[in-house]
Amino acid sequence: MGETVYTKDHEWLVIVDGVATIGVTEFAQEQLGDVVFVELPDIGALLTEGDEVAVIESVKAAGEINAPINGTVVAVNEILADEPELLNRSPEEGGWMFKVTLDEDYDISELMNKAEYQDYIAVNA
Amino acid sequence: MSNASDVKHTKFYDYHVEAGGKMVPFAGYLMPVQYAGGIMQEHLHTRDKAGLFDVSHMGQVVVDGEGAVAALERLVPVDLEALAIGQQTYATFTSEAGGILDDLIITRWSEHCFFLVVNAACKEQDIKHLRKYLGDLEVTYLSGQSLLALQGPKAKDVIGELTPEANELLFMNGFHTVIGGIECYVTRSGYTGEDGFEISVKDENALALADQLLAYDEVQWIGLGARDSLRLEAGLCLYGHDMDVSKSPIEAGLNWSVSRSRREGGSRPGGFLGSGQILKHLADGVAKKRVGFLIEGRAPVREGAEIVDNQGNVVGVVTSGGFAPSLQIPIAMGYVNTEFCAVGTTLDALVRGKNRPMTVVKMPMVPQRYFRG
Q: Are A37 and B322 inside 8 Å of each other by CB?
A: no
From the list B38, B298, B302, the residue facing A33 with the nearest CB is: B38
Question: Burial of A105 by CB count in 10 Å (0-12 exposed, 13-18 middle, 19+ buried)?
Answer: exposed
Q: Are A59 and B352 inside 8 Å of each other by CB?
A: no
Q: Is A50 left (phi over 0), alpha (psi -120 to 50) or beta?
A: left
Structural domains of chain A ordered from first start: 4-103+111-117 (2.40.50.100)
Query: What is the per-residue pLDDT for A1?
Result: 58
Enter the ipTM.
0.88
From the list B41, B228, B298, the residue facing A37 with the nearest CB is: B298
Q: Is the dihedral angle over the CA atoms B179, B169, B197, B167 positive or is it negative? A: positive
Query: What is the per-residue pLDDT for A103?
Result: 86
DSSP, residue by residue, B187-218: ES--SSSSSEEEEEEEHHHHHHHHHHHHTSTT
Length of chain B, in residues: 373
Q: Are A34 and B38 inside 8 Å of each other by CB?
A: yes
Residue among B262, B147, B287, B128 at smallest CA distance from B203? B147
Q: Which residues of chain B carry a pLDDT beneath 70?
A: 1-5
> Residue B13 and residue B11: Cα distance in Å, rounded?
6
Q: Are B34 and A36 inside 8 Å of each other by CB?
A: no
Per-residue DSSP letter, A85: T
A3 vs B201, residue with greater confidence: B201
Query: What is the per-residue pLDDT for A107?
Result: 85
Using a CB-CB distance cutoff of 8 angstroms, which residues of chain A are in contact with residue B34? 33, 60
Structural domains of chain B ordered from first start: 4-57+144-233 (3.30.1360.120), 60-137 (3.30.70.1400), 255-361 (2.40.30.110)
Per-residue DSSP letter, A61: -
Q: Are A55 and B352 inside 8 Å of each other by CB?
A: yes
Q: Are A84 and B229 inside 8 Å of each other by CB?
A: no
Using a CB-CB distance cutoff of 8 angstroms, which residues of chain B are in contact with residue A60? 33-34, 39, 225, 228, 322
**Which residues make beta-bridge pairs with A2?**
none
Which one-letter amino acid corresponds to residue B117?
V
Using a CB-CB distance cutoff of 8 angstroms, which residues of chain A are in contact with residue B299? 37, 39, 57
DSSP, residue by residue, B25-66: EETTEEEEEE-TTHHHHHHHHHHHSEEEEE-TTSEEEEEEST
Per-residue DSSP letter, A44: T
Please write the tens of the pLDDT for every residue from A57-98: 999 889 999 999 999 999 999 999 999 999 999 999 999 999
Using a CB-CB distance cutoff of 8 angstroms, which residues of chain A are in contact with residue B300? 36-37, 57, 62
Query: What is the per-residue pLDDT for A114?
Result: 95
Return the residue of A nearest to B331 by Cα: A59
Interface test with A, best of B298, B303, B328 (most A CBs within 10 A): B298
Return the residue of A nearest to B41 by Cα: A34
DSSP, residue by residue, B57-102: TSEEEEEESTTHHHHHHTTSSS--TTPPTTBEEEEEEEPTTS-EEE
Going by C-beta distance under 8 Å and a sequence separation of 6 or more, which residues neighbour residue B283? Answer: B264
- DSSP β-ladder status, B329-337 and B288-295: antiparallel
- DSSP β-ladder status, B100-110 and B88-94: antiparallel
Query: What is the per-residue pLDDT for B1?
Result: 43
Query: What is the per-residue pLDDT for A86?
Result: 97
Q: Are B323 and A36 inside 8 Å of each other by CB?
A: yes
